[in-house]
Amino acid sequence: MLVSLALAGPGFPWGTLVANVVGSFVIGFFATLSEPGGRLMASPGVRQFVIAGLCGGFTTFSVFSLESVRFLAAGHYLMAGTYVGVSVVTWLVAVWLGFVIASRLNDIGGLGALKQELENSDGDGHT
């Protein structure tokens, strides 16, 4: 699957993939940072606006769907499968990374504390 992705070249919808990965990260990060007890105070309305409105508008699921169908219609079944598989996996990883980083910020007191913790780390994540 990764080989066909590497061979995809300029016909592969890289822009859509990257936009969706970045949007997924931001959704995971903001949702976690602004959850009850999180570092960022946001009302449910603001959370919905940012997550569904801004991030939802930034991500391009409808374009992803169209590109996938076009690959299938053109008989590029491996490319379609690769695109769908890589997209779903990278979106989930990006949301998870956003969640993990924001959770860490919630736990330790913000970006300054995270930087200090990383500087004081012995390289194995132990302080």
Domain assignment of residue 41, yes or no: yes
Cβ neighbours of residue 87 closer than 8 Å, sequence gap 6 or more: 17, 20, 64
Residue 1 pLDDT: 44
Q: Domain of 34?
A: 14-120
Domain assignment of residue 6, yes or no: no
Q: What is the pLDDT of residues 58-98, one digit of tens each?
A: 888 888 999 999 999 999 999 999 999 999 999 999 999 99
State both tokens at 123: 């390289």
Domain assignment of residue 31, yes or no: yes
Query: For residue 112, what pLDDT band results from cuts at 50, 70 and 90?
Result: low
Domains held by the chain: number: 1
Residue 101 pLDDT: 92
Domain assignment of residue 4, yes or no: no
Domain assignment of residue 126, yes or no: no
Q: What is the pLDDT of residues 8-66, one digit of tens each?
A: 566 889 889 999 999 999 999 999 999 888 888 899 999 999 988 888 888 888 889 99
Binding-site residues from annotation:
56, 59
- Whole-prediction pTM value? 0.73
Binding-site residues from annotation for Na(+):
56, 59
Domain assignment of residue 116, yes or no: yes
Is 31 within 8 Å of 100 (Cβ atoms)? no
Domain assignment of residue 127, yes or no: no
State both tokens at 83: 């695109």
CA distance 41 to 64: 33
